[in-house]
Structure 1
Amino acid sequence: MIGTGISRWTMSYFAMALAWLFVALALMVAGLGFPAAHLASPDTLVLVHVVCIGWLSVAMCGALFQFVPVLVAKPLFSERWALPALGLLTAGLASLLAGFLGLGGRLPAWLWLLPLGAVLLVGGFGLVVVDLGLTAWLRPVGPARFVLVGLASLCATVAFGAMFAFTHAGWPGSIGETILTSGVPLHAIAGLGGWLTLTAMGVSYRLLSMFMLSPDVEDRKSSMTLAAGALAVAVAVIGGIVAIWLVSGLNVVLSIAAVLGLATAALYGRDLIGIFSGRKRRQLELNTRMAVLSFASLAAAGLLGVVLVLTGAFAAHVGAFTFLAVFGWLSGLVLAKLYKIVAFLTWLETYGPVMGRAPTPRVQDLVAEARASKWFVIYYVAVWFGTLTLVAGQASLFRAAAAMMTVGLAGIVREVIRTRRLADVARSLRFPDGACAPHLLFARA
């Protein structure tokens, strides 16, 4: 953390993201959206955007505001843009969801809410991209390059989404209608594969090395992984647009992108093995052990995708594949690292100013891993069970799995709040002279 400060609003981003995740799980338990409804239905669009924007993207933005300065060893370009960006993202998502609900007849059909939401989201993500991009652009070293490619993918994702929103609202334009008809997979690949996955990979390199005291991944190896991932996204997005324009060859383009995606996952796995084998901290902390389960979910999603393609069943079970990738790999990794990040930042904020002048607890003294581990296990088991129910076509059992996920998430969030409240720190060490209690939702200036 040398040369950087604590991001004032990272905790606010995490809190908002977790709130949206609870909303998503409540929708799944209630049977709103897939698998009770078709993948392209308005109800499913509500669920997908709550998860991908409200939960994953907001959590990722909050983490990046803290860790991009760490990756490049320079301060954030503008700390003041973080809170307005969060406000725009929240308002934009709420407007977009209301538009989808109107599209499905659950609210008045005020379809102008869709382009309004798109404009607000463009504004919010625009602030994020410019702030983080200007921070990392001058020193695109190591994992920061993953973030830059992820931000470029975010721009493509938002551009597709805005075009879809205006088209759904009835704005004329043959290009928008053509892209809407065939371009949804490109939108999903740019968002899940480029923005969320490549960014998560880049940040995980630094976090795993930092928390396990491992050497950084060799630049040559990480560059190979990034090149494969960036090429996969570029082939899908650029090649997909050309194929749609030519009205042919989209399946070939997506197949090539899928092969490159599998190669990226394999190279990432190689890099992870190097980090784990070179670690100096032999006893793995809970966040790392749970991250291993997310890596296993990524491998399982890749294997499931290959099996489904070879058996000709991918189209029928694309929901199961996506669910495992989103909730097992991405969400699992974010939750595991969020658990550690909150403890780490809380320790820095509370005890960093008095370190060396008074006895202070360790970062590990802020958490109770034995108690927290069961909630993570419940969450991951529920995700894997939910994947099986989707493959088997058992919608009612899937709702039970979503309820199990909610129980696990509630336990994890309770542990995070206890960490932020210093509830597990010994009373004699909790507040040495000069230390101040941290605020739950933001860091003190």
Structure 2
Amino acid sequence: MIGGNLSKWAMSYFAAAIVWLLAAEILMVAGFGYPAVDVASPDTLVIVHMICVGWLSMAMCGALFQFVPVLVAKPLFSECWELPAFGLLTAGLIALLAGFLALGGRLPAWLWLLPLGATLLIAGFGLMTIDLVLTVWRARPTMGPAHFVLVGLASLCATALLGSVFAWSLAGHGGAAFGAILESGVPLHAIAGLGGWLTLTAMGVSYRLLSMFMLSPDVEGRQTRVTLLAGAVTISIVVTGGLLAIAMETGLDVVLLATAVLSLATLSLYGRDIAGLYRNRKRRQLELNTRMAAYGFVSLAAAALLGIELVATGSFSAHVGAFTFLIAFGWLSGLVLAKLYKIVAFLTWLETYGPAMGRVPTPRVQDLVAERRAAKWFAGYFISVWIATGGLLAGQPSAFRLAVLAMTVATAGIVRQLVRTRRLRDVVEPLRLPSGTSFPRLLYSRPEPCRKKQS
């Protein structure tokens, strides 16, 4: 990979993210959080933050530490910051979740845990953001996908700051100003997080990964700039316009309507770009990760259509949980799981066989995986997500929990395939460990002194 070495701690980020995902799924199966209780209840907030921070954001951070250097063809500014950021994010999330449990009466009233958790999360995300921004800055001028990441990181900053305001307000601090933002600003926080940080960043990374893994020409720069502009304007309107509307007490209806229209425009442009990547690929036989990523894109399109129908029928507020579930699990989680399946194999191959390439026979990246075995788990995952969404729309919590149970089993099956890949279980002898190679570690890459990269 031009521009970067293996990230030592990317696998640790991925492993922690998967643990949070499975934990959240198990809690949903047990009836914890929505739909058993209100969508804004403390229990639901626990699930939401386990998914959005613990699973999606942690996985995204690991991917960015590995692939931003690839996007800009420059080494990471400082490898030393990956592990401290990981520790801060983990500690911050645990404190935040404990604060929500205290808010809901499941723990003693230690509401100070909420601002503590928010502060630790801001520190962790801030350390990661500074490291990545400095990496991109040193590589200027940069190309389109890196710009998506920068806008995504800006959205992350807005999301974290809004969340911090909520945390301080729930703990009884900040006065009337923080209280007003808490009362009306939750949609801004959610859109900046799911739509800005996670979706725009996933878009930028997907451009590069799909192009690389499908041997497809990069999307024309003008096209990606238009898509990025639409997305950036959307997030700018929702954050700045939303906060201004709250300050002026005019309501968020106009801001949310403009956000919805621009979001649809952004997704349409992104869909055009992705369709071009699939259409112009040189690798005609699609690998499992790109086939399953397509189901993530289908889920994104379905969520957009669902949102339009819910707004048109005036039932969006009643079914916002189903809409968010499809975005979080069908689109974002589906795409992340599909890409992790390839990323883990790719990084494991680089770590294990890259140093010996050209000196001894080595397997292909595809020889590290067993796609036929994994395909059934991915199919089960997406089908379960769609059924669970239907259960929420139909007001059938029992059907939802059964579907989430199937989704949890499928997730565990996918994770098992990732572990098999990391342990080289599907590589046949004598290619498994030829001379000059060493067995990869499960949770981190090769030991190497932490150092700041020089330009």
Q: TM-score range by the shorter chain?
A: over 0.9
Does the CA contact (< 8 Å) of 1:4 and 1:74 recur in 2?
Answer: yes
| Structure 2 residue aligned with 1:340 | 342
Cα distance in 1 for partners of 2:137, 2:394 equals: 46
Cα distance in 1 for partners of 2:166, 2:2 equals: 43
Moved more, 136-145 or 156-165: 136-145
Give 1:114 shift: 0.6
Does the CA contact (< 8 Å) of 1:154 and 1:194 recur in 2?
Answer: yes
Give yes or no for the alignment of 1:179 onto 2:188.
no
Cα distance in 2 for partners of 1:426, 1:45 equals: 46
Aligned length: 445
TM-score, normalising length: structure 2: 0.97
Cα distance in 2 for partners of 1:67, 1:182 equals: 36
| Structure 2 residue aligned with 1:24 | 24
Moved more, 135-144 or 28-37: 135-144
| Structure 1 residue aligned with 2:453 | none
| Structure 2 residue aligned with 1:367 | 369
* SS in structure 2 of the partner of residue 427 of structure 1: coil
Deviations 1:400-427 (A, max 9, x none): 1110110000000000000000000012
| Structure 1 residue aligned with 2:330 | 328
Cα distance in 2 for partners of 1:185, 1:191 equals: 10
Query: What are the residue-to-residue correspondences of 1:151-166 with 2, within 5 Å?
Result: 151-166=153-168
* SS in structure 2 of the partner of residue 143 of structure 1: helix
Pick the aligned partner of 1:147 from 149, 168, 175: 149
Structure 2 stretches lacking a partner, 5+ long? 449-455
| Structure 2 residue aligned with 1:431 | 433
Cα distance in 2 for partners of 1:427, 1:83 equals: 35
| Structure 2 residue aligned with 1:2 | 2
| Structure 2 residue aligned with 1:170 | 172
| Structure 2 residue aligned with 1:131 | 131
| Structure 1 residue aligned with 2:397 | 395
Deviations 1:321-373 (A, max 9, x none): 11001100000000000000000000000000000000000000000000000
Does the CA contact (< 8 Å) of 1:11 and 1:441 recur in 2?
Answer: yes
Does the CA contact (< 8 Å) of 2:345 and 2:369 recur in 1?
Answer: yes
| Structure 2 residue aligned with 1:196 | 198
Does the CA contact (< 8 Å) of 2:53 and 2:93 recur in 1?
Answer: yes
Deviations 1:179-207 (A, max 9, x none): 00000000001100000000000000000
Does the CA contact (< 8 Å) of 1:137 and 1:148 recur in 2?
Answer: no
When the two chains are superposed, the root-mean-square deviation of aligned CA atoms in Å is: 0.7
Give yes or no for the alignment of 1:121 onto 2:121.
yes
Cα distance in 2 for partners of 1:246, 1:389 equals: 39
Give 1:3 shift: 2.8
Give 1:136 shift: 1.2
Cα distance in 2 for partners of 1:3, 1:68 equals: 9
Cα distance in 2 for partners of 1:395, 1:8 equals: 42
Does the CA contact (< 8 Å) of 1:349 and 1:443 recur in 2?
Answer: yes
| Structure 2 residue aligned with 1:404 | 406
Deviations 1:292-331 (A, max 9, x none): 0000000000000001111111111111111001100000
| Structure 1 residue aligned with 2:265 | 263
| Structure 2 residue aligned with 1:15 | 15
Tell me the amino acid that sits aligned with residue 77 of structure 2. Answer: F
Tell me the amino acid that sits aligned with residue 233 of structure 1. Answer: I
Large movers: runs of 4+ above 6 Å: none
Does the CA contact (< 8 Å) of 2:115 and 2:167 recur in 1?
Answer: yes
Tell me the amino acid that sits aligned with residue 323 of structure 2. Answer: F
Cα distance in 2 for partners of 1:337, 1:136 equals: 23
* SS in structure 2 of the partner of residue 191 of structure 1: helix
Cα distance in 2 for partners of 1:48, 1:142 equals: 30
Give 1:65 shift: 0.2
Cα distance in 1 for partners of 2:112, 2:146 equals: 38
Give 1:273 shift: 1.1
Q: Which has the higher contact order (CA 8 A, sep 6+)?
A: 2
Give 1:172 shift: 3.7
Give yes or no for the alignment of 1:105 onto 2:90.
no
Does the CA contact (< 8 Å) of 1:386 and 1:398 recur in 2?
Answer: yes
| Structure 2 residue aligned with 1:244 | 246
Structure 1 stretches lacking a partner, 5+ long? none
Cα distance in 2 for partners of 1:92, 1:112 equals: 12
Cα distance in 1 for partners of 2:272, 2:416 equals: 34
TM-score, normalising length: structure 1: 0.99
Give 1:137 shift: 2.6
Tell me the amino acid that sits aligned with residue 116 of structure 2. Answer: L
Does the CA contact (< 8 Å) of 2:3 and 2:72 recur in 1?
Answer: no
